[in-house]
Amino acid sequence: MGTRMIGVSIAVPEPHGSLLQERRAGFGDPAARAIPSHITLLPPTKVAASALPAFREHLDAVAAAWVPFRLRLAGTGTFRPLSPVVYIQLAEGVRDCSELQERVRSGPVRRDLDFPYHPHVTVAHGIAEEAMDRAQRELAGFSACWTVTGFSLYEQGDDGVWRTTGDYPFGQGAPAVPHQARRGEPADRGTRTARHT
């Protein structure tokens, strides 16, 4: 069975996800087409394929104990000079993402972080400084808001492209929805009515 490269993320919904992915490609980032726009909960992690069933059960449990929360993106930031990244900032939902990623990483798949957790949406990584300056400048006015209702497990294919292998809706107490069965829905501007446990 070998190993798999996996990650867990909150997808940026349409039309915002595709727009940011296209802009990232337009800035010359070669990884843009392989990485859907997202907010990371578990960074790329190599795991034994045999560990995945237990990890999926863990994700089911984490999602079942959570409730939807409001997330708002607004403006740009950068990790330069520490790391060559330009990103869209979270103006709302930081605490929820931070607590959620701790729960995700507390199960059978554990991974230390290279840097303190800072939820964001990458729009340029490892490209020329001029192009990163342009990304930071041109997306400074970007904003989007939606209610996060779950997260997804991703796997990197042999072609380098990250694809979802399961969706985990909040507060359902049910198995993950296979990605093939998921239907895209417009961004929801509702608000959270309860706290997760």
As a three-state string, the secondary structure of 67-103 is CCEEEEEEEEEECCCCCCEEEEEEEECHHHHHHHHHH
- Asked whether residue 176 is domain-assigned, the answer is no
What total of structural domains would you count in the chain?
1
Mean pLDDT of 168-182: 58
Nearest to 76 by CA among 150, 163, 137, 151: 137
- Asked whether residue 179 is domain-assigned, the answer is no
- Asked whether residue 193 is domain-assigned, the answer is no
For residue 66, which amino acid is it?
W
- Asked whether residue 93 is domain-assigned, the answer is yes
pLDDT digits (tens, 9 = 90+) for 83-122: 999 999 999 999 999 999 999 999 899 888 888 999 999 9
Q: Mean pLDDT for the chain?
A: 88
Domain region containing 52: 3-170
Global pTM value = 0.85
* C-alpha span between 16 and 187 (Å, rounded): 9
What CATH number does the domain containing 67 carry?
3.90.1140.10
* C-alpha span between 197 and 194 (Å, rounded): 9
